Structure 1
Amino acid sequence: MQFIDRAEIEVEAGKGGDGIVAFRREKYVPAGGPAGGNGGRGGSVILEAAENLQTLLDFKYSRLFKAEDGKRGGPSNRTGAAGSDRVIEVPCGTVVYDADTGEVVGDLVKPNQTICVAQGGKGGLGNKHFLSNSNRAPEYALPGLPGEQKRLILELKLLAEVGIIGLPNAGKSTFIAAVSSARPKIADYPFTTLVPNLGVVRKPTGDGTVFADIPGLIAGASAGIGLGHDFLRHIERTRLLLHLVDLTAADPLEDYQTIQAELQAYGRGLGSRPQIIALNKLDAVDSETFTLVKEELMRFTNNPIFGISAVAGMGLDPLLQNVWQTLDNTVHSEVM
């Protein structure tokens, strides 16, 4: 399945039905009277969060969504039928922006959550509405009002508690494959991962926590270089960042600082998000190298640092225990 996390669509609510001019024609009612009904309201366009959707792929092929128009009024004061609403399903985590103003229209996080993005037009008034003492036989009615039309930008931000970050080839995909049932494509060249991978990691209690492997972070990612700018938005919702650093890299400390600089440059609170650092590929270096890199990192951060090997399964349990503890602590601090 192709992963699409941004789309632009046009929505058009239905026009209200026209009111009509009609008069009563009843036996034994010689004066008659106005009896034109009002038009029905136009249908609205509604977005609904669906738990079974993971991408905005459908909006790559369908971009215009229109609700049904309301029906015109009828004689004998009959109101026209309302137009049917157009309900559009989007993945949970979709943020909706007005394409013309840039304002946030809504943020659909919970399953079945809905927002009305285009209101249907009101139905026009029939001539019955204009009956008065001075005008006993009005011969005019009002047309229905047009529905709202908008251009919207849909932006998907994955819902995950833990975001896995790091330079290409830091071992992020290998890690998520080792701790969950996710099976991302893995190879020994940069940018193997072109889309975010989600994996559910089970706690000892049996509860599941969603981890997201965020691809494409390189120097300049926050400014649109490489793939990172497109995917940094996916870690905005995470409560914890797990930063993987490749111990076999030419300069692991520089790699660490590169990612930290991109988080700060992107903003939105990512630079201050709780972090755990995992020095990966422990099986490929000697203990002296690991100790040296860890000591250098401790000069720049107070975040916990672990040595792991995702491919060999080394050090994963202590790391995950710290993840659970950190997540529990953030929940408690939010409550307080």
Structure 2
Amino acid sequence: MGRRRARGRQISGVLLLNKSAGMTSNDALQQAKRLFYVAKAGHTGSLDPLATGVLPLCFGEATKFSQFLLDADKRYRTTYRLGAYTTTGDLDGELLEEVSAADITEAQVKEALKAFEGDIEQVPPMYSALKHNGEPLYKLARQGIEIEREARPVTIYHIEMLDFRPGERAEVDLDIRCSKGTYIRSIAEDLGEMLGCGAHVVKLHRSESGPFVEADTLTLDELREERGEELAEVLDHHLLPTDAPVQSLASLALADSSAYYFRQGNPVMDPQVYRIGDEGDMVRVFAEDGEFLGVGVLDDEGRVAPKRLVVRPTAEN
């Protein structure tokens, strides 16, 4: 029995969604998928239900390049509340302990934040999507099971206090630009430990994801309003090109004869290879007419070998 085809349109591109609070990233993905009536879609790194902001969604062939956005740097605006520990490190968790933060000063917080600048080691929280023996840690945490986690290296490129509101439950607004895999909740918990009063996240907004910024995003409500009773095609103008996740890579346009063999999965020679990069570099590869063929890897013999190929849409697929 043949494999059943996924329902929906065979379209490719990237949607820059501004996720609302209260929904999971997968909930947002599924709603966008229905709005665009697309057969295949994936997101590029989860945001907690509490969180809002930039969530790039990849449709169709663009899903092949989602890893580039998973690995990209991120930027967040967040609010930490001092004086309370929670099970999850954020507002959605159960309250574990309260300690007055009335004596904590802005100067103390600024001094403590210096410890998070640059390359640091961070222990992932139990309430995370990381897996242990195939099981997400958050599922184990809900069962009261705690697993020892190894610290991981992350980089905090920029951490700045935007505002400080003193009191029993003092609050700190921060702007943080960081590498992939950084847990903003873990920074809150570690900061709370350093100050001796506990801390957790009460607001979290992703303002940048790789090259994408919140000014270019759309909410699900905006998309619903625009579509109305129209067909899904009315929304297609919002999609960025399939190569948007890899736009930071150099580009290489192949002659038609070379493009044919590249599409078949074969390395091809091209005189531009020596000019655009070094052995092992990845590049975006295009046909002469501008069609995006996929991502290739350069070698030291002047060739580019396919790494991820885009499948041309046909009437059958």
Using structure 2 for the length normalisation, give the TM-score: 0.23
Using structure 1 for the length normalisation, give the TM-score: 0.22
Considering Cα pairs closer than 8 Å and 6+ residues apart, tell me whether 1 or 2 has the greater RCO: 2
Query: More strand per residue: 1 or 2?
Result: 2
Largest Rg, 1 or 2: 1
